[in-house]
Structure 1
Amino acid sequence: MSSRYVVLADDFTGACDTALQFLRSRNDLPRILLDPENLLGIAGASNVLVVDTETRNLPAEEAFSRIAALAAELHRFVGTTIFYLKTDSTLRGNTAVEVEALQRGLGLSTVVFAPAFPKMGRTVKNAILSVEGIPVSQTAMARDPLKPVTTSDISLLLCGTGACSPRHVRLEELRGGFLLPPRGARCGNLREEGCYTFDAETDEDLRRLVRAVTASVAPETVLWAGSAGLAEALVRRDLPVLAVVGSVHPRSIEQVKQVLNSGTAMGYIPDMSAFLQNAPGALEGAVETVSPLLLQGKNVLIASSRPEDPSSTTHRGNDAIRIATFLGDLACALARRHRLGGLFLSGGDVAAKILKRLSVVETVVTEEIEPGIPLLRVQGGDLNGLPLVTKAGAFGTPRSIVAAILRLRG
C-alpha cells in the first residue's frame, strides 16, 4: 500500500527540506502549501502535502491555536494518512505545544519525537541534542532573538504538555532491539502512555527507530515529530522486498542461486509435496514462517523448488497449476499483512495470479532495469504506488534477480 502523507512544518525552509525527502525516496512531487487557510479541499488531492504553518516564532498560545485549527480540518484523514510534524533540528520554536495540539486534535495514540539530523551534524545521545558535538543550549541557538533554546534535553522539551509525559529511548536500548511496548504497559513503576523521545547518532539509528515503531503499530496511528532526518527514515522505512519465483527454467534457477549466495534475500522453499498431498495448514504455516523475516526488514525470496535440486517439485500439468495457485495465495497473504518496499514476480502464471488476487488492474512502466525486465508501479487499489518488477523465466543474466531486488529496495 502506498501511504499518503501530510507534513506540518513550522517554517518555509523546513517545509522545503522535508519535501525533498519524499522526492528522493518516492519519486512523488510534494505540494507545499504556503497558506494554511487554503487547506480545505486540497489535503486529499495529493499523496504528499507539506503545509508551511509559519508558527516557529509565534507566541505559544497562538501557535497552539493555529495547529489545533489545522488538526480539526485534517481529522477526517486520520487512519488513511501519516502525519508528520516537522520541527527545528536545533529545538527552536513551539515544539511542545504543537505536539500537544496536533495529537489532541487528531486523536493519535502514539507520539514519536526524534529531532536528530545526522547529515547536518545534529545528533542525540542520552537525550541531549548536540550540534557538531556541542549541546545545543550552549550554541548560538541559545541567543536566538525570537525563540532562544533553553534546554538541550529533548525529553524535558515535551514534559509538562497535556499531550504526553515522554519515555526516552537511549541508544543502547534502540540498538539492542527495542520494540514499542503495548500501550499502557508498565516499565518499573511508570506506565507507558504512548509518547517517546529517541536518541539517534546515525541515519541507521533513525531507520532502526522507524522499524521498531512500525513493527508494533501502524504508522498512521502515530504522530511523527522531528527534523528532515526522521522524515527521510520514515518515508523510506527501509521496507523489505518480497520475491516470488515460480519458474523452474535453468536460468531462473541460476538467478535464485545468485540471490541466496549473495545474501540479497533470505530463501524460503515451501514444502510443495505436503501441499500437493493436501496437508492441512500448509498455507498458514508458510505465512507464519515468512512473516517474522519480513517484520525484521529482511528481503525474502520464495521459490517453488530448491535451486540445488530443481526436480524436487513436480511442475507439470495440474500440479503446476496448483503450485502457481499456492504461491499466489502465499504472496497475497504476505502482501496484505506486511508493508513491502517492492514485489518481484517471475513466472507468468504465478505473476498473473498474484496480481489478480491483489486486485491490481493497472500498472505503469517507469524504467527498464535490464533488457526485457521492467520496473513497474501499481496504479490504484490497495497496493497503489508499490514498485513491482516482473521477469520471464528465461530472461536475464545470472544476477538479474539480485539487481531487481536491490533496485526495489532503493
Structure 2
Amino acid sequence: MTKLLLIADDFTGALDTGVHFVKKGIKSEVVVRKQNRNFVDLTRYLENEVIIVDTETRHIKPEEAFKIICELLVQARELNIPYFFKKTDSALRGNISSELGAMLQVAQEDVHFIPAYPKMNRYTMNGVHYIDGIEVNKSVFGKDPFEPVTESYIPKMFDADICVKLHKNVTEDKASHVIIYDARTDRDIENIVIDLILNEDAHYFAGCAGLAETISDYLPLSKKSATIAVQGDSTFVLSGSLNDITQLQLKYAEDVGIYHYKLTDEEKSDISYYKTNQGKRLLDEIKDKLSQSGNAIVSAGEMGGSIQKVDYSLNREKVGSTLGHLALQIVQNVTGINLFVIGGDTAVSFITQLKNTRITPISLVEEGVVISLIETDHNQFYLITKSGGFGEPDLIVKVLLRLGTWKLPQKT
C-alpha cells in the first residue's frame, strides 16, 4: 500500500529526493509525467510504499503547474494515500507559489515548508534563504540569464491570495497556511520533523532533499537494509547545464586529462545531424574514447551563435531532445556503460526517449549525486544524475573515481 506521494518538478529532483527512501529499503518507484499529458495514473504504482512523480512543471506557466499538482493530489487522496511531500528546489527556483498553493487548496490543512539543505550550505533564517552565506537572490542563482531568483525573503515569493506565515509567528486560528520554517542544521530539521509527525500529526510537507533524508526516518514506512553494487566498464558524462558551477567542474576534469568535447550549436540542437557522416564520426570518436580510457565528457558548453537568439523555451526543448538522442546512441551501442548526466532537462529528455522504462534510485555517490538503476525491455544500466548548480570543482572527477572508471595518474 502506498503511504507517501512525493512530487518533484524536475527529474534530478525526483531522484535526489527519492533516493533517501530507496537507500533505506523502502519500496519506491519514479514516474515521469509525459509531455503534453497532465494525468498520471497512480493506480499503476500502488505496490510501492512511496510513489515519486516528476511532474516536469519547473518551467511551465504557474497556472498549468497549479492544475497538474491539484489533479495529482486529488487522485492520491481518493486512493487514501496518507502523506504528501512536495519537493522544492534548494535554490527556490520553479513554481513554488503555485505548487504549494495547490497543495494548500487540496489539503485544507497546514502545509509545512522546510526549504533548508544544510549539507549543501543552504539554510533559512528569519524567513530569508541563504546559499553559502549569501542571500539566494544575490548568489549565482540570482544571476541566471534566463530564470533568476529575484527574492530571498520566502513569504514575498508567494501570491497574495495564499496564506503564508513564518513558523515563529504562527498563532491559533482556523485558516490553513503554508508555514515556513527556519533551519540551519540537520538537527534543526530533525527537531521540526519529530514535532510535526509525532506531536502534530502533520501530513503535508514541502522541502528539498535535506528534508527527505530526515522525514524518511520518521514516517511509518517499512525499512530494511538495501545495498546494490554498481558495475560498469566506462562512464559517459553528458552535461547540458550552462551553470557557472558546472563549467568549473568540466574544466577541472579536462585539466586532469579526461577527454572533453564541447558541442557546436548544430551538434547540440539538431537531431538530424547525427544521421550525417560528420555526426556518425563524432559518435564513433566518443565511443573510441570510452573504449580507450574508460571515460568521455561531452558538454553543451556556453550558448552562442545563432542558438542564443532562439526563444529560450524552444531552445531548451531542442537542446534537451538532441542531447537525449546523443546519449541514447551511446548507451545503446556501448556495453557495460554508466551514463552520468548533468542537468535535469537533459536527463529527462534522455529518459523520455526510452521505451517501457522502470527507474529506481539506489544510492548517493556524493551529496546530491544519485545513482539509479534504469531497466528497459532490452537492457539495464546505471544512470548518475545531478543538477547543474552545486558541487565543488572536483566533483565530476570524484564521481568517476568512486565509479572506478578513472584512476589518479601514477606519479613518475
TM-score, structure 1 normalization: 0.49
Larger Rg: 1
- TM-score, normalised relative to structure 2: 0.48
